[in-house]
Amino acid sequence: MIQESDRSGNFYYYQSFIYRKIYCYSAENNQAKPWHMNCWFSPMTETNIIKLLDDIIARGIEINSSDIHLEPREEFVRVRYRVDGLLNDADPVPKTKQAALISRIKVMVNLDISESRLPQDGRTNVKLGRNEFDIRVSTIPTIFGEKVVLRMLERKRTLLSLDELGMTPEDLATYRRLIRQKNGMILITGPTGSGKTTTLYGTLKELNSRENNIVTIEDPVEYQLPGINQIQVNYKTGLTFPRVLRSVLRQDPDIILVGEIRDLETARIAVQAALTGHLVFATLHTRDAASCALRLQEMGIEAYLVKDVVIGAVAQRLVRRAPQGRIGVFEVKEFQMGPGRNPTPRC
């Protein structure tokens, strides 16, 4: 065995130079295949690990990947990139580099490198050329080590307008009529990765003006919107959705975006905001647009309040269609206004 240390002398890495042939499992053909990477392992210095991680991230940015998965296996670390909704395998990483690679990721996002038994979350940003990217990191323990997922978000990514989302002319006209109301609640629903944030940001982009005070409460803030006050919740410091939402109501807002209604307390405050003259956008997890009102009632909101404040809902999915790739499919539903609703449109 050969021992090497970095300049600080705090970390020691051991690496074998024994030439050996490694086989990795291929999920595609259910057969073992020789590892095509160089089997003469180079010394595992800190510089090599940093370069390895930089190459993995740079490759993800190059192929426009939304997520990078590092999945420990018994004999290697599987690397996969999610591109256009599908995971694609890349060159695996030797098992001997697993611990150092994961530690490097934790250091990069200021996580506890000594904690490997509990999930952790962190974030950082990197710059490639003129583009800046936010990277959200999530770790979780598995039987072969910690699995890591890096979510890639381009800061200056061009946001789609409502006309570019893919709504039918009828649905788009209905949705524009809804978002021009001065008060009420509009709910966006769909599975994870269906484009709810894209729809909401496109909506705020259209409503953003000097006359409107727009405040968003998100977890996390995925893209920075000029001219809009964006707040990221922080559960570690007690900055939760309900607490932020109460404070936002004292900030004289015109339009409020709640990243997700997760509990009864958040739902009640959001309903109260819609009742007191604010236009509220929020997301829920339901199967279709019509189920949004029922979901609020199941959470504990009275039926008469739901009828009075919810003015519309949008259900959306991303459907794969060759050769265009994934396209958005929308269902826009306009609910009948309750007796207390003010139908005056926003100018």
pLDDT per residue over 15-43, tens digit each? 332 223 333 333 334 444 443 344 334 45
Mean pLDDT lowest among 1-15, 152-166, 184-198, 215-229: 1-15
- The reported pLDDT for the residue numbered 327 is 81
In this prediction, residues 134-143 reach a mean pLDDT of 94
- The reported pLDDT for the residue numbered 154 is 83
Give 183-205 pLDDT, tens digit per residue.
Answer: 999 999 998 878 898 999 999 99
- The reported pLDDT for the residue numbered 28 is 39
Q: Indicate the SS3 state at residue 71.
A: strand
226 contacts 185 by C-beta, under 8 angstroms: no
Instruction: List Cβ neighbours of 172 (8 Å cut-off, separation of 6 or more).
Output: 162, 163, 332
Q: Indicate the SS3 state at residue 92.
A: coil
- The reported pLDDT for the residue numbered 211 is 93
In this prediction, residues 56-61 reach a mean pLDDT of 93
Query: Measured in whole angstroms, how far is the alpha carbon of residue 247 from the centre of its chain?
Result: 25
- The reported pLDDT for the residue numbered 195 is 86
Mean pLDDT lowest among 185-189, 204-208, 308-312, 334-338: 334-338
Average pLDDT of the chain, as a whole number: 83
* Paired sense of beta strands 76-83 and 93-94, if any: antiparallel
Task: State pTM to two decimals.
Answer: 0.74
In this prediction, residues 252-265 reach a mean pLDDT of 94
